[in-house]
Structure 1
Amino acid sequence: MTAPWSGGAVTGRARCVLAPNPGPMTLDGTNTWVLVEPGSTDAVVVDPGPLDEGHLAAVLTAVEDAGARVTETVLTHGHLDHAEAAPRFAEITGSRVRAVGRGHDDLGDGDVVRAGGLELRVVATPGHTADSISLALPADHVLLTGDTVLGRGTTVVAHPDGELGAYLDSLERIAALTGDGSVTAILPGHGPVVPDAAAMVAFYRVHRAERLDQVRQALADGAASEDDPVEGVLRRVYADVPASVWPAARLSIRAQLAHLAR
């Protein structure tokens, strides 16, 4: 069943196509975003997703339904569930792929991606990965966050590429955007649209602070002296987390330990 935020217009400029890759790490699947300025024939596609021809066909249908063609393909980061299809999608559409890292170093903080009157401003938000960016759509007061902020639950800091200090700084940057009214809603890479961006970012910041306190306590309670402190923290702090997401939890624990060691 298609998620309720997928398939139709979410804002005046954004519509979502949900990729068929649900799972513990991807929630309902990857959200591919089709962005078109009203009255324009140029579209930006953000995160074409996994290499699935059926999904790419659905994205192209959404673009055609908007009366547009793809001129820009943008990646929020390089994880395969967001970026694997990018070369194939560029081949199909003739669009260029823009991103940070992995041979795509053509986007930086504050850069603006334009397509037929549409303007997307790049906000550097490393932490989940080193190459993570978010994309502000000022006309709709929304921020496309990739995996930096999800529509449900919390994200992983994918150590060693991801780094907790950078992630905390990125949350502060997003909080500033919600605080000045520039961003009121979040269009995430996974999960539903977040209508109250400020509340979600506040939750994320509190959650990270609480997790760090829990890790400190776990280390003090004996995890630091175990042969594998990561497993010691996992048992003490993440005991209520489903085993299916333990691999992600271990990555975040390593990021937390590295952060505390600094």
Structure 2
Amino acid sequence: MASFLHDAHPRLEAAFVAMLDESLAPRDPSMLLATVRSLDLPPDSMAVDVGCGEGAHAFRLAAHFGLRVLGIDPVQRHLDLAREARRSEPEVVASRVSFERGTADRIPLRDASVDLVWCRDTLAHAPSLASAFREFARVLRPGGRALVHQVLATDLLAPEEADWLFPVLGVVPASVDLDTTEGAISHSGLVVDASVDLGSEWGEHEEETSGRSSRALLHVARLQRDPERYREAFGDAAYDVMLGECLWQVYGMLGKLTSRVHLLRRP
């Protein structure tokens, strides 16, 4: 190894770096919309956006596919911002979208009333994956689909790192555990039509197009080098949340966290 470092590696390094700078063509979040398009849902099909945040995905589903969309979120501020954003949408889109309070395990819709459950970046916060997937199955019509994007922990995530990512719990929660996820889906009655492991692809795409992940790494370095600067300015709770959010992105690039997309169907 020592001779390789001093002799062969310097001659390979430039070519190696050049190859590393070549994109591996990572997939990006638009693949979710492409998946919805492939389902060929008729206009005015009913969709629910679970964990809708400020409504961006709900508006896209209505604009791209003519779906009627109910966005649900447990955070009132998110709902207020989504309803405000709705006022700026074209009438043909705004008339198809509404927002209500709800959670993954408590969707305010009747049994068998939904053609599509859209759930992106939400289940990491779910108290019970089993309850969430059962609720998806409850509201879906026979033949209805659930498109679910999750971030999951891998074996590379050390137990002590859970303190940074999940400061309130101090442990890796079941909501980001692969075995728990697969068990919850299996017991929900939903059928897995497709399951795609993305690894770091979305993070790579973000890095290639905007440099967001590398910025997160810079922020982690600053947060850890001078924590008191940020604790004094914003408080301990805000510091812990910000460190966790930045590490979430960095760990996704390092393989400590991974992304997976499930396309599920109610038989």
Q: TM-score range by the shorter chain?
A: 0.3 to 0.5
In the superposition, the TM-score normalised over structure 2's length comes to 0.36
In the superposition, the TM-score normalised over structure 1's length comes to 0.36
> Quick check: which one's helix share is greater?
2
Higher relative contact order (CA 8 A, sep 6+): 2
Computing the radius of gyration over CA atoms, which structure comes out larger, 1 or 2? 2
